[in-house]
Chains A and B, each alone.
Chain A
Amino acid sequence: MSHQPDRQEYNITAYTENQVGLLNRIAIIFSRRKINIESLNVSPSEIEGIHRFNIVITETEDVVSKLAGQIEKQVEVLKVYYNTNADVIWQEMALYKVPTDVIAEKASVERLLRENGARAVVIRKDYTVFETTGHREETDALIAVLQPYGLIEFVRSARIAIIKGSNGFNSKLREFERREPGEDVAENEFLNSRDAVFTM
């Protein structure tokens, strides 16, 4: 086999219409190529009626750029961006359910929670639910901490990511709604970034 080119985590951000079936249309772009989606978040964006997908995969840039193109090609997708982890601010949220009596008895647990930036969301007689947000390693670290104290249940959200270099989507959307949008929106980013090829 030829050598495996550099793969890394990429964050794909897609702005889409809020349409039944679109999730499947996007998911099969990955499954068809036997690419595993590591994290997927779909939620309403800041704009009424527009949804935002955050998809995390580990692949080479060549593959990611092609996937992004395939997603953007779908009729109900407005715009797709892809970024490495260095180009985004990202967070995952985690919830931890632990027995309240253990927490109450062991002051060390409380300290550990504070050190890990966790916050109590619900405190009941039988259990307490803590919440923390952060990178994978951070939420993982707290699991390791709580495990010896009888961690009952754990859940982690998909990743959400803000693109450092983005100017937001509000003004872009107005462009999309126009029949003749400006170059910025109508032009294809994957082609724009190819200027380097023209060194003839």
Chain B
Amino acid sequence: MLNNEPTTIAEPEALAAAAPSDMEEALAPNATGAVAVLNILLAEGVDTIFGYPGGAIIPIYDALYDFKDQLNHVLVRHEQGGIHAAQGYARASGRVGVVFATSGPGATNLVTGLADAQIDSTPLVCITGQVFAHLLGTDAFQETDIINITTPVTKWNYQVTKAEEIPEALAKAFYIARSGRPGPVLIDITKNAQLQPFHFAPYKPCTHIRSYRPKPIVRTEYLQQAAALINQAQRPFVLWGQGVILGAAEQEFKAFIEKSGIPAAWTILGAGALPTNHPLNVGMLGMHGNYGPNVLTNECDVLIAIGMRFDDRVTGRLDKYARQAQIIHLDIDPTEIGKNVTTAVPVWGDCKETLPLLTALVEAKSHSEWHQRFQGYMAEEVDAVIKDELFPTGEELTMGEVLQQLNELTQGEAVIVTDVGQHQMVACRYARFNHSRSNITSGGLGTMGFALPAAIGAKFGAAERPVVAIIGDGGIQMTIQELGTIMQTGVDVKIIILNNRFLGMVRQWQELFHTRRYSFVDIASPDYVTVASGYHIAGQRVEAREDLAYGLRQMLEHPGSFLLEVMVAKENNIFPMVPQGCSVAEIRLR
């Protein structure tokens, strides 16, 4: 029973607003708040909404009924799935992801996704319904103070209590979400504001907020300082992050790298901004990154960080991180500069603007001896780790060989969406990316349950590209209900479950640092292929090496979604590894 449904549809104040006096004839109501919301979404170029209805957002859903031809609403199975899907959509397409949820539990179910989007700078506009304004603060049915709950995990949020506020609030929401360093915005709209008829003037997008400076002025003296440092460097090293992708500066970045000849390594959110097989791409940074990039971070003389934030998973022990290097930091967010490392030259700005200016000032070089150092370390890593991971000789399947075979088939063209754990690190390390916006993973928050819904969203955001989700047996069980979304929408998502019958990453830490006391990491799984078939999704389980290539091919060639469960070794570890509290130079190969 919908006990939160009032029997009358409009509030008295709404009815009063519907009957304008003669004087106000020119501003006669022409839309309800709900209708205005949908018109604004169209004006902002929104084509897809991920959402779930409920009492406090029924008026918007009612209006949506008439917009079915223009707006594709994806009914998810849980609001967390909805927001992760919107994240996947935004990350794959570069556009703002849009979410609808009802008040109370609907809104609180968004919190994990907001935190994830906030820390990974993903542009989202979430619209939540709220109880009638006159009930605010009364502990009304499904009332929750979502504005205060979400303040730490949103770039901006705002509660609308009158229909007239809707255009400006939403215009600001889209502008703030996508400009500067992007992030999630939440707009909470009380039910009376959704129902209220008002005069909806032609919509004007927001282009300026006086208290908000998304685009810094680029100062040439910093660029000159940076170029001077780079030009005299013997062992310069570039670290790039998602800023290059968010700034749509992939070409500018490539031009800079190619002219300067500097080896470049990536954070997991930056992966794909430069193709995996580009000769200047020396690999992945961080705890499970490549050997050379980690060791040589502590040997370079000039470190050029571009759109990355020196997360602790990248830096390891900070007081032993690149102490010998002069650091040049290019970032759009001034609070990132100097936050974790001491910066010699802060290049504050949008890297789409700063990179070409810097490229013009740097000398063309090749740094071939320095490159050989990276190659040397790579050869060691291939020998010690990669060879056995990608081309194992033992009986058990490895996660790496699944990625290796997948690369063979997709040739680096797929969007890879990963969950969190060992399989994530394997996927980031070994997946081949030809294009930007191809690696979608929960980096900063490490949210298990991210991948399945994010993959659904990614497919809606990049319909022409194959989307492959790589998920652990733990993570899949956190948001497995989204198989229902796949079933109902018919979206084509390929799902690979790398089943090691463990919460593998935690088990690895327990093995290495807690004397193999495997405390609550042996997680049981259902029969995933049977579960999938219950949702009318095709599936296959692979247990032996000789079936792997066929299974993968079957999955990729299948018209529509497909779930492939691969039984991999139970107790493999991810190496290399920079143990927590160690410096990047102390990275272990085994």
- Residues of A at the B interface (CB closer than 8 Å) are 16-17, 20-21, 24-25, 28, 32, 66, 69-70, 73, 75-78, 173, 176-177, 179, 181, 183, 186-188, 190-191, 194, 197-198, 200
Could you say which of A77, A183, A194 has the most chain B C-beta atoms within 10 Å of its C-beta?
Answer: A194
Instruction: Say if the beta carbon of B505 comes within 8 Å of chain A.
Output: no
Which residues of B, 304-352, contact A by the 8 Å Cβ criterion? 326, 333-335, 337-339, 343-346, 348
- Of the listed stretches B209-217, B410-418, B553-561, name the one at the interface; the rest are far from the partner chain: B209-217
A69 to B334, CA, bound (A): 7
Could you say which of A16, A17, A75, A183 has the most chain B C-beta atoms within 10 Å of its C-beta?
Answer: A75
**4 nearest interchain CB pairs?**
A69-B335, A188-B334, A78-B211, A176-B210
Instruction: Say if the beta carbon of B279 comes within 8 Å of chain A.
Output: no
A35 to B343, CA, bound (A): 25
- Assess A186 versus B213: contact at CB under 8 Å? Given A66-B339, A191-B346: yes
**B335–A197 contact, CB under 8 A?**
no
**Which one of B152, B159, B176, B211 lies within 8 Å of A17 (CB-CB)?**
B211
Which residues of B, 178-223, contact A by the 8 Å Cβ criterion? 207-213, 216-217, 219
A198 to B344, CA, bound (A): 7
Tell me, rounded to whole Å, the shortest Cβ–Cβ distance linking B224 to chain A.
10
**Contact partners of A190 in chain B: CB under 8 A:** 334, 338
Tell me, rounded to whole Å, the shortest Cβ–Cβ distance linking A34 to chain B.
14
Tell me, rounded to whole Å, the shortest Cβ–Cβ distance linking A196 to chain B.
11
Tell me, rounded to whole Å, the shortest Cβ–Cβ distance linking A121 to chain B.
35
**B217–A191 contact, CB under 8 A?**
no
Closest-by-CB residue of B relative to A70 is B335
Instruction: Say if the beta carbon of B298 comes within 8 Å of chain A.
Output: no
**Contact partners of A70 in chain B: CB under 8 A:** 335
**Which one of B155, B213, B337 lies within 8 Å of A191 (CB-CB)?**
B337
Instruction: Say if the beta carbon of B225 comes within 8 Å of chain A.
Output: yes
- Assess A24 versus B151: contact at CB under 8 Å? Given A17-B211, A78-B210, A176-B210: yes
Produce 1/0 per residue, B398-422, CB < 8 A to A. 0000000000000000000000000
**B210–A177 contact, CB under 8 A?**
yes
**A28–B213 contact, CB under 8 A?**
no
**Contact partners of A197 in chain B: CB under 8 A:** 343-345
**Contact partners of B333 in chain A: CB under 8 A:** 73
Closest-by-CB residue of B relative to A65 is B338
A150 to B199, CA, bound (A): 63
Q: Besides A21-B158, A75-B155, A176-B211, 4 other CB < 8 A contacts?
A: A24-B148, A32-B152, A66-B339, A200-B228
Closest-by-CB residue of B relative to A182 is B217
**Contact partners of A191 in chain B: CB under 8 A:** 334, 337, 346, 348
Closest-by-CB residue of B relative to A174 is B210
Tally B residues with Cβ within 8 Å of A: 35
Produce 1/0 per residue, B149-170, CB < 8 A to A. 0011001111100000000000
**Contact partners of B147 in chain A: CB under 8 A:** 21
**A73–B217 contact, CB under 8 A?**
no
**Contact partners of A20 in chain B: CB under 8 A:** 159
Tell me, rounded to whole Å, the shortest Cβ–Cβ distance linking A197 to chain B.
6
**Which one of B148, B156, B339, B345 lies within 8 Å of A198 (CB-CB)?**
B345
**A75–B345 contact, CB under 8 A?**
no
Could you say which of B159, B213, B346 has the most chain A C-beta atoms within 10 Å of its C-beta?
Answer: B213
**B211–A198 contact, CB under 8 A?**
no
**Contact partners of A179 in chain B: CB under 8 A:** 207-208
Instruction: Say if the beta carbon of B448 comes within 8 Å of chain A.
Output: no
**B211–A188 contact, CB under 8 A?**
no
**Contact partners of B159 in chain A: CB under 8 A:** 20-21
**Contact partners of A188 in chain B: CB under 8 A:** 216, 334, 348
**Which one of A21, A66, A76, A183 lies within 8 Å of B217 (CB-CB)?**
A183
In the complex, 21 of the A-B residue pairs with CB atoms within 8 angstroms, ordered by the A residue number, are A16-B211, A21-B147, A21-B151, A21-B159, A24-B151, A25-B151, A66-B335, A73-B335, A75-B155, A75-B156, A75-B211, A76-B211, A179-B208, A183-B219, A186-B217, A187-B217, A188-B216, A190-B338, A191-B348, A197-B345, A198-B225
Instruction: Say if the beta carbon of B229 comes within 8 Å of chain A.
Output: yes
Tell me, rounded to whole Å, the shortest Cβ–Cβ distance linking A88 to chain B.
23
A157 to B344, CA, bound (A): 42
**Contact partners of B219 in chain A: CB under 8 A:** 183, 187
- Assess A75 versus B335: contact at CB under 8 Å? Given A21-B151, A32-B152, A176-B211: no
A16 to B130, CA, bound (A): 27
A198 to B210, CA, bound (A): 32
Closest-by-CB residue of A relative to B217 is A186
A187 to B217, CA, bound (A): 7
**Which one of A25, A75, A176 lies within 8 Å of B176 (CB-CB)?**
A75
